[in-house]
Amino acid sequence: MSKIRRGGHSAEGETLSAGRVEYLEAARARVRTRRIRRTVIIVAVLTILVLFATGAVGSSIARAKDLVDTAVITLAPAPGWPQQTGITDPDTVQQLSGAFVEMGGDSCAVYSMNGTRLNSIQSGYARPAIAAGKTRFVLYNRSGNELRVESRTQNLYSKTLENSIYLCAMSDTGTLAVATDSADSTARLTVYTPTMSEQLHWDMTGTQGTPVRMAFAADSRRLAVAAVTSSAGQLQANLFVLSLAQGDPVQLGTATSVPQWLGWLSGDSVLALYEDRAVLYGANGGEKASYDFGGSTLVDVDTENGGVALLLSGGQTCTAVLLDNSLGVQYRGNVPAASHILRAADGFYLLTDSTVECFNKAGEFQWTQPMDAKPQAGVLNGRQLLVFSGNTVQQVTAPEPDSSSAS
């Protein structure tokens, strides 16, 4: 029997027909698919056996699904970029482990970082919003009481609550926080385990306020909450940290404006960005540091890669600011007008109306890459930069050197 080699020839050098080559390539693809499925099944079975052996089945079965997802994403063929997602005007893009979720209107698309479409969702929600952890995200209706917990490849849970949803937060381990209205209090904050069992709830008083921002710590054991209320006719923002083990909130501080962004910079520091300054709070209370915007307004923020990147607008000019995790200034300077900033390990990127601009840590311009449509969002995964424009996601790299100018 003659063996077939790639390149359209048999072992004896006989040229194969185009139809025969296509048939063989399809057969190879089927073999690869069967191998992927077999590997995924083996991973799933071994994971379940370990869970039974350790007695951790109840709370960890959802993690088994996450592990299977990871295996599918890792072993699946990589189509690469660009890809058309079908979402022309993304409202938000949030990064997952080895993937991202893009939402526009009531449509969501989940892709691996290699370009594989993993999931598509039509929620039908009037005011959809998402909150993402590492391996799953929650899609919820801000004008209703419905929510869906999604892995990177499938729906895990769907739930209809008794009260309307204000906002949600998802931890890296799948713990879910949901803030709703309440007939008995100003608001109710409920925390669910990764299997959607209620872990605790907090009935918030009028003095404490209504949640407007929430963020889990990296250890998924604490939740930062920013709530707004009024005091003597003036708006007041109260910041808390809720320990999921103890269930008692600790107040970090107060402010006279609503936080535009809230997150953790480390295990003991919570960052709140207001309209005029950034404030770093200790997780046990008290202000640790602050950075004043100097009259400029916040346009965008990124806290990846070991620090904070701020994009500020001051009328006709934009300013990029790089801060360390103690809010020490690493760089501040004027930059082209832009809508988004992405912090890289060795600098930062700006998304302007028509280009992607690259700068090093010292703020020195490195390169520009023109785009066919306005860049609307970006995801940075190590050195891989994906940019969303129109309904297309493409990988952006430094331009090739101009050979004509090298001589």
Question: Which range of residues forms the domain containing residue 24?
Answer: 16-75
Residue 340 located in a structural domain: yes
CATH of the domain at 365: 2.120.10.30
51, 75, 99 - which closes a domain: 75
Containing 365, the helix (H) or strand (E) segment is: strand 365-370
Residue 102 located in a structural domain: no
Residue 241 located in a structural domain: no
In angstroms, rounded to a whole number, what is the distance separating the alpha carbons of residues 250 and 268?
A: 13
Residue 378 located in a structural domain: yes
Per-residue pLDDT tens digits for 312-335: 999 888 999 999 999 999 999 999
- Radius of gyration of the CA atoms of the chain, in A: 24
In angstroms, rounded to a whole number, what is the distance separating the alpha carbons of residues 297 and 319?
A: 10
Containing 57, the helix (H) or strand (E) segment is: helix 57-75
Per-residue pLDDT tens digits for 208-222: 999 999 999 999 999
- Token pair belonging to 328: 């020490």
pLDDT at 209: 98
Q: CB–CB of 256/242 below 8 Å?
A: no
In angstroms, rounded to a whole number, what is the distance separating the alpha carbons of residues 114 and 404?
A: 33
- Token pair belonging to 200: 């605790």
Residue ranges of the chain whose pLDDT lies below 50: 1-12, 407
Q: What is the mean pLDDT of the chain?
A: 89
pTM above threshold 0.75 = yes
What sign has the CA pseudo-torsion 290, 293, 295, 300?
negative
